[in-house]
């Protein structure tokens, strides 16, 4: 069992994990296929544009506290031994920085709900708190142009001197379908024998048929299938007058043989390069249960085969998984190391929501290699812990090293990071933290930064009564994920952790306040978990 460490100690270390992307597990299921990827559905436009947004080069001071140190002045020597323990511990001394790659995945939460609905508790290794938190819409102020706005707030908890601090990052609202660039989508579809299970290949085919009807005439689609071998069923084809041909290709898909996922990904990228369109969004959409049993079965080897295509042409990978049993770890690694994202759906209703709102945001990009760094003020902060992002961490000194991998983020996204923070006794005032986000322009690769800070006096007095609605939602989601991970003895409770019964009550209260179906679903999932654990 790992315990919390004070920042004044010397025994706790955090992982260095520079270019490593979250190699943990993931869920990615939604075989429903990036189908409506750019469908006529328009992404939600929650949040307005920020009038104070300035997409300049950061690096100055924010609210009287220094922003993260420039490259080359970080804590390289102090972190030399790091990487031996997980980030679940409190940050080590004398490091008051927390650095991680951004993540917009939500698959972990979706798969956990599916598992609970089926009457089982999710494997702790598939529970990623940041994906639970990022599954719920936040009303952050939006920037005027490409890039991010930064929001930092927080509230005190019932545990003495412990607070919950929220760092919120938002991109501009997604534009309507007519304003996006054309898409060139290569669907790599698993037709192995395991895909015969209802809710796998059939769900993907239904979604692809719908996509064929809704994509624009200037969009293009290619289809690659794989079982024991891979085959290009349809080369890159403009929608125009070819919808019938595309539907015929979709209807012809039938499950057979084993799963050579490596061959599918390799052939998919080759097809995407052959059909590459300048000025369009070129994306590979992988639809599979990822139960790879033939050929290469590890992400590193698979991605190495298509490394040149990814780097030279900027083709990103969107992972879509299906089925109650699938290769979680493999799919997660493929999407993360392939500069992509994952998601999961278990019902037609969820698929429609994903196709209409989520998937369109995964097509266009507003930021590449985006990282965040939070500086905590040693004069006011005793210790802190980032909730989740365990395999997304980046060495502090690599924050401004643009060769180090970050996260890809599109329009309409919000990214939330939660910290539990213990203040030093007698420090009700003073600066608490500064959050900085750094990203590269997706076209020019020019770096940009934006920062915001939080004063200790600005903390809301009570998390559950006085804090913003969005912070309470994020807190419920994070505490729920943390409770599910307690099945694994590697994890310790977060400070001020409510019981599952209390979390269910909080979620239902928030749901009634806003008549939010997603929160009613959250309350239901928490209640199911409570029944299984009590």
Region at 185 (left for phi over 0; alpha for psi -120 to 50; beta for the rest): beta
Q: Tell how far CA 495 is from the center of its chain.
A: 24
| Least reliable range by pLDDT among 58-62, 325-329, 363-367, 395-399 | 58-62
pLDDT top residue among 128 and 344: 128
In degrees and rounded to multiples of 5, residue 190 shows phi and psi of: -75, 120
Which tokens hold the place of 221?
């689609």
pLDDT at 455: 97
Q: Model confidence over 283-302: pLDDT tens digits? A: 898 888 888 888 888 888 88
Tokens 């100690």 locate to 9
| Least reliable range by pLDDT among 14-23, 337-346, 485-494 | 14-23
Q: How far is Cα 296 from Cα 458, in angstroms, rounded to an integer?
A: 52
pLDDT top residue among 9 and 309: 309
Q: How far is Cα 60 from Cα 436, in angstroms, rounded to an integer?
A: 10
Q: Model confidence over 304-324: pLDDT tens digits? A: 888 777 778 878 888 887 777
Q: CA distances (Å), 256 to each of 194, 251, 326, 381, in order?
A: 8, 15, 17, 58
Q: How far is Cα 475 from Cα 466, in angstroms, rounded to an integer?
A: 13
Q: How far is Cα 432 from Cα 63, in angstroms, rounded to an integer?
A: 10
For the chain, the 3-state helix, strand and coil shares in percent, each to the nearest 5, are: 30, 20, 50
Q: Across-strand partners of 98?
A: 374
Q: Model confidence over 455-475: pLDDT tens digits? A: 999 999 999 998 999 999 999
Q: Which of 123-127, 142-146, 337-341, 433-437 has the highest mean pLDDT?
A: 433-437
Instruction: Using pLDDT thresholds of 50, 70 and 90, give the confidence band for residue 332.
Output: confident
Instruction: Using pLDDT thresholds of 50, 70 and 90, give the confidence band for residue 359.
Output: low
Which tokens hold the place of 366?
């507003």
Q: How far is Cα 54 from Cα 39, in angstroms, rounded to an integer?
A: 32
pLDDT at 391: 85
Tokens 């769900």 locate to 203
Is the pLDDT at 51 greater than 60? The verdict is no
* Tally of residues, the chain: 534
In degrees and rounded to multiples of 5, residue 64 shows phi and psi of: 80, 5
Chain mean pLDDT for the chain: 81
Is the pLDDT at 530 greater than 70? The verdict is yes
Which tokens hold the place of 450?
């934006």
C-alpha atoms less than 13 angstroms from C-alpha of 524 in its C-beta half-sphere: 13
Q: What global pTM score does this model have? A: 0.80
Q: Model confidence over 413-424: pLDDT tens digits? A: 899 999 999 999
């Amino acid at each position: 069992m790992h315990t919390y460490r004070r920042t004044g100690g010397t025994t706790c270390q955090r992982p260095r994990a520079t270019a490593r992307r979250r190699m943990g597990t993931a869920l990615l299921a939604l075989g429903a296929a990036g189908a409506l990827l750019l469908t006529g559905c328009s992404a939600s436009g929650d949040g307005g544009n920020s009038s104070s947004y300035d997409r300049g080069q950061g690096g100055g001071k924010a609210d009287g506290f220094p922003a993260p140190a420039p490259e080359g002045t970080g804590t390289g020597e102090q972190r030399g031994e790091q990487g031996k323990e997980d980030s679940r511990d409190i940050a080590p001394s004398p490091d008051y920085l927390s650095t991680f790659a951004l993540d917009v995945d939500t698959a972990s939460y979706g798969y956990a709900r599916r598992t609970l609905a089926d009457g089982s508790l999710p494997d702790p290794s598939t529970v990623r708190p940041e994906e639970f938190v990022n599954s719920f819409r936040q009303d952050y102020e939006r920037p005027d142009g490409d890039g991010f706005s930064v929001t930092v707030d927080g509230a005190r908890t019932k545990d003495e001197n412990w607070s919950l601090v929220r760092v919120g990052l938002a991109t501009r609202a997604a534009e309507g379908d007519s304003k996006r660039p054309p898409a060139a989508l290569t669907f790599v579809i698993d037709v192995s024998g395991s895909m015969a299970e209802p809710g796998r290949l059939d769900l993907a085919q239904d979604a692809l048929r719908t996509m064929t009807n809704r994509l624009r005439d200037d969009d293009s689609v290619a289809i690659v299938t794989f079982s024991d071998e891979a085959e290009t069923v349809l080369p890159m084809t403009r929608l125009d007058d070819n919808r019938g041909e595309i539907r015929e290709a979709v209807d012809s898909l039938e499950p057979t043989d084993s799963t050579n996922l490596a061959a599918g990904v390799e052939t998919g990228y080759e097809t995407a390069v052959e059909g590459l369109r300048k000025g369009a969004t070129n994306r590979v959409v992988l639809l599979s249960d990822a139960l790879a049993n033939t050929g290469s079965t590890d992400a590193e080897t698979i991605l190495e085969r298509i490394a040149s295509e990814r780097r030279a042409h900027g083709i990103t990978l969107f992972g879509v998984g299906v089925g109650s049993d699938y290769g979680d770890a493999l799919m997660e690694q493929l999407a993360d190391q392939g500069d992509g994202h994952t998601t999961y759906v278990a019902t037609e209703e969820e698929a429609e929501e994903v196709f209409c709102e989520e998937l369109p945001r995964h097509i266009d990009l507003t930021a590449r290699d985006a990282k965040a760094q939070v500086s905590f003020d040693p004069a006011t902060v005793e210790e802190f812990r980032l909730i989740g992002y365990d395999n997304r961490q980046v060495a502090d000194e690599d924050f401004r090293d643009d060769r180090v991998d970050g996260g890809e983020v599109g329009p309409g996204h919000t990214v939330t990071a939660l910290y539990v923070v213990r203040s030093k006794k007698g420090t009700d005032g003073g600066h608490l933290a500064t959050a900085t986000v750094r990203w590269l322009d997706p076209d020019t690769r020019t770096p940009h930064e934006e920062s915001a800070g939080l004063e200790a006096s600005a903390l809301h007095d009570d998390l559950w009564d006085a804090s913003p609605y969005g912070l309470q939602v994020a807190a419920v989601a994070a505490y729920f994920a943390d409770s599910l991970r307690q099945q694994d003895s590697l994890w310790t409770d977060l400070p001020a952790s409510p019981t599952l019964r209390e979390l269910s009550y909080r979620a239902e209260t928030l749901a009634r306040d806003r008549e939010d179906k997603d929160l009613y679903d959250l309350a239901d999932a928490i209640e199911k978990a409570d029944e299984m654990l009590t």
